[in-house]
Amino acid sequence: MRITIGADHRGFNLKQQIAGWLKSQGHEVADVGTTSTESTDYPLFAAQVARKVAQGQADRGILVCATGVGMCITANKVRGVRATVAYDEDVARASRQHNNVNVLCMGERLTPEAAQQIVQTWLTTEFEGGRHSRRLGEIADVEQSECGVSRG
């Protein structure tokens, strides 16, 4: 699977560990940064990952910051992206089954082992379709109708 990964300074160490693990599992990993623990702004990396997923340059995206929340908010601003924050396998599984989430956001406080389990569950869980497809269509309708609204 083609996975694009990114993090800010707070998520750098966990991103590095996840990227190495993904490569060891045979995934193609594109890392958009950051490249150190020097302070940086998470929206820059979240937008890069989200755009690569939305444009089909990656099958999935993974983002790491202090909590995952800022990354998730930013990624969800990109049309066609469905991002979630997951702190456990149950959320990761449900996000794929029900929401066909294509960007996973995590907080750096997870242990590398817990993060790997969450990522593994997220990558191997299939979208269930059915009534969930209808709901994703409704979400897409909201996304489409809001695209012309300006910030005020």
Instruction: Report DSSP letters for 46-100, one per residue.
Output: HHHHHHHHHTTS-SEEEEEESSSHHHHHHHTTSTT--EEE-SSHHHHHHHHHHH-
Low-confidence stretches of the chain (pLDDT beneath 50):
151-152
Q: Which residue has the tokens 């160490």?
A: 13
Q: What is the pLDDT of residue 144?
A: 84
104-121 confidence digits (pLDDT tens): 999 999 999 999 999 999
Q: What is the pLDDT of residue 148?
A: 57
Please give the positions annotated as active site. Answer: 65, 98
Q: Which of 83, 59, 88, 82 is nearest to 69 (CA)?
A: 83
Strand partners of residue 61: 4, 103
Q: What is the pLDDT of residue 145?
A: 84
Domains identified in the chain and CATH numbers = 2-146 (3.40.1400.10)
**In this structure, which amino acid lies at residue 6?**
G
8 A C-beta contact, residue 72 and residue 105: yes
Q: What is the pLDDT of residue 152?
A: 46
Q: Which of 90, 94, 136, 109 is nearest to 13 (CA)?
A: 109
Kindly report the pTM of this predicted structure: 0.94
